[in-house]
Amino acid sequence: MTDESAGVDADQEAGAADAEAVAAPNPPVRRVGDWDAARLRDLAEQHGTPLYVTDLDRVAENCTRFRAAFPDADVRYAVKAHTGRAVLDAVRDAGFGAECASAGEVRRALDAGFPGDRVDYTAVNPPARDLDGFVDWWRDDPGLTVTVGAADTLDRLAERGYDGRVCVRVNPGVGAGHHEKVRTGAAAKFGVPVDRVDDVVAAARADFEFVGVHAHAGSGIHGADDLAAHREFVSRVGDIARDAAGDADGDGLEYVNVGGGFGVPYRDADAPLDLAAVAAATRDALGDVDADLAVEPGRYLVADAAVLLTAVNTVKPAGADADEVVAGVDAGMTTLLRPAMYDAHHPIRSLAADAADRDAAPTTVAGPICESGDVFCEGRPLPAAERGDLLTVGNAGAYGYEMASTYNSRPRPAEVSLDGEPLRRREPLADLTRLEVTPEDR
Ligand SMILES: Cc1ncc(COP(=O)(O)O)c(C=O)c1O
C-alpha cells in the first residue's frame, strides 16, 4: 500500500481490527485508530491545539516488551527521541539507562534520577561547552561513560583532566534505516574508521578506562532488507569488538553497544517489528564476543505512545476538478518536523464525530508555516475535512516535540498525559523574545 492509499478505509479497518488488539495485553503496535476519540476530543477542548498527548502507560508497556526481547542486554534509552521528564521517569522506572547526545541531555538524565553509571554521553563532534559540563559532572559521578568517535575527542578529554570510562564509537561501513538522513553506520561523520580503530582503542586503553565498542547503523530498521543490513552491521561490529577485546594486554571489553534504530510501523499497512527476530539476529551476528550486549532504543519505546492533535482552520478545494482538499491546520513543521525533514509518513485520523459518514477526499494536510514543505501528507484519502475538525497525527512520540522549533515565531505546543496531567506548558509568545537584547536594554 502506498503512502497516500493508507487513508480512511485503511484507518477504519485498522481501527476495527485493533479493537481486539487494545484488549490484548501489551500489543506490539498501537495504531492511531486505537486511541479513544472522545478522550482526545476532551483533551483538545481543555488544553487547546496543537497538543501532544502522551500515554505514559504505553511507554512502560513498550519498555516491558523490549526487555522481554532482550532479557540480558544493557538497555539505554536514546533520550533524544523524547526527553520529557515524565517519559524519562517512565523509562528509568523500567530499569533502563540513558544514552545522551549532548551535555544537555546528560544533565536532564541525571536530574531525572538516572544513576551516573547508567548514563552514556555519545559525543559527536562535541562542543567545548559540552565536554566542560560532562567532565565537571563526572567528578561527582565517576560512573559516567563517554563514547568517542574521534581521536581528537580523547585529547580534548585528557586536556580537561578526564581519565574515566571511555567507549570507542566505530564506523563499520554499513548503514541502515528509513531515510538516507538517518543512516549513520557508514557516514564519515560518525565513528572511527575501521583502519584507525586499533590506534584509537590503544589510546583509550593508555589514558582512560576503556570499556567498550559502539556503533549505530541508523534509525527505523523494520523490513527484511533492514534486518539483513542490521545483521551485516552487527557482524562487522562483532569483528571489530573481537579485535579490540583481544588487545595485547588482554583486558577485554565490558560491552559491545550496537546502537538503536528498532523501527515502528508508521503506516497502517506495516506489520509491527518482529523484535524477537531482531534480537535473535543480533545475538547470532555478534557471535562469541565475550562482552555484554548494549542496545539504545529510542523511537521503539516512545513513538506510538503519543499523538499530536491539531485543528483544521482552513478548507480549500484544490485540483483541476476541485475534488481535492487542502486542509489547513494549526500544527506544522515547527510542531512535528519529520514529514518535512524525512518525507516521513505519519498516520492521520479525523476525530470529527461523523467522520465515518463523510466521503473520502484526497487531502493535503498543510501547516501554517510559510514553506512549501510544511505539509503532513499530500492527496491522502481522508474524510472530507471541515473547518473546526480535530485531526490526530499518530506515532508522534519520537522526535516529535523534540524537533519542534519556533520558526515563523510560532511558540511550541503543549503536551499532556493521556490522564490529563500537564507535561509541558504551551510556550508563551513572550518567551520568543525573552533572550533578545533590545535597544531599551542597552
Ligand atoms: C547513537 C544513537 N543511538 C541510538 C539512537 C536511537 O535511534 P532510534 O530512535 O531509531 O532507536 C540514535 C538516533 O539517532 C543514535 O544516534
Residue count of the chain, please give it.
442
Question: CA 339, CA 106: separation in Å to the nearest integer?
Answer: 28
Best of 75, 77, 87, 99 for a ligand 1 pocket test (most atoms within 8 Å of beta carbon): 99
Active site residue 100: no
Question: CA 133, CA 66: separation in Å to the nearest integer?
Answer: 32
Q: What is the pLDDT of residues 265-316, one digit of tens each?
A: 999 999 999 999 999 999 999 988 989 999 999 999 999 999 999 999 999 9
Provide the 8-state DSSP code for 185. Answer: T
Asked if domains 8-53+303-431 and 70-297 share a fold, the reply is no
What confidence tier does 221 reach under pLDDT thresholds 50, 70, 90?
A: confident
Average pLDDT, the chain: 91
Q: Which of 61, 40, 90 is nearest to 394 (CA)?
A: 40
Question: CA 343, CA 404: separation in Å to the nearest integer?
Answer: 16
Between the CA of 219 and the centroid of ligand 1 the distance, in Å, is 6
411 close to 429: Cβ distance less than 8 angstroms: yes
Per-residue cell: 283 = 545475538
Residue 417 has pLDDT above 50, yes or no: yes
The dihedrals phi and psi of 318, each to the nearest 5 degrees, come to: -145, 175
What CATH number belongs to 8-53+303-431?
Answer: 2.40.37.10
Ligand 1 pocket check for 82: Cβ under 6 Å: no
- Domain locations in the chain as residue ranges: 8-53+303-431, 70-297
Residues 6+ apart with CB under 8 A from 273: 28, 221, 222, 262, 263, 264, 265, 300
Ligand 1 pocket check for 257: Cβ under 6 Å: no
Residues 6+ apart with CB under 8 A from 26: 61, 64, 65
Question: CA 116, CA 165: separation in Å to the nearest integer?
Answer: 11
Report pTM: 0.92
Ligand 1 pocket check for 262: Cβ under 6 Å: yes
Between the CA of 261 and the centroid of ligand 1 the distance, in Å, is 5
Question: CA 109, CA 187: separation in Å to the nearest integer?
Answer: 27
**Residue that has been written with the C-alpha cell 544533565 in this structure:** 107
Question: CA 123, CA 86: separation in Å to the nearest integer?
Answer: 25
Between the CA of 297 and the centroid of ligand 1 the distance, in Å, is 6
Residue 92 has pLDDT above 90, yes or no: yes
Ligand 1 pocket check for 230: Cβ under 6 Å: no
Pick the CATH number of 70-297 from 3.30.70.20, 3.90.105.10, 3.20.20.10, 3.40.50.2000: 3.20.20.10
Q: Check whether the bond before 172 is cis (ω within 30° of 0).
A: no
Between the CA of 255 and the centroid of ligand 1 the distance, in Å, is 18
Enumerate the H helices of 81-223 as residue ranges: 85-93, 103-111, 128-140, 151-159, 197-207
What confidence tier does 19 reach under pLDDT thresholds 50, 70, 90?
A: very low
Question: CA 99, CA 146: separation in Å to the nearest integer?
Answer: 10
**Residue that has been written with the C-alpha cell 532504543 in this structure:** 297
**Residue that has been written with the C-alpha cell 492521520 in this structure:** 348
Residue 255 is inside which H or E element, if any? strand 255-257
Enumerate the H helices of 2-55 as residue ranges: 8-23, 37-47
Q: What is the pLDDT of residues 181-210, one digit of tens each?
A: 656 666 788 999 999 999 999 999 999 999
Secondary structure, 3-state, 304-350: HHEEEEEEEEEEEEECCCCCEEEEEECCCCCCCCHHHHHCCCCCEEE
Q: What is the pLDDT of residues 301-357, one digit of tens each?
A: 999 999 999 999 999 999 888 899 999 999 999 999 999 999 999 999 999 999 999
β-pair partners for 74: 294
- Pairing state between β 324-329 and 306-318: antiparallel
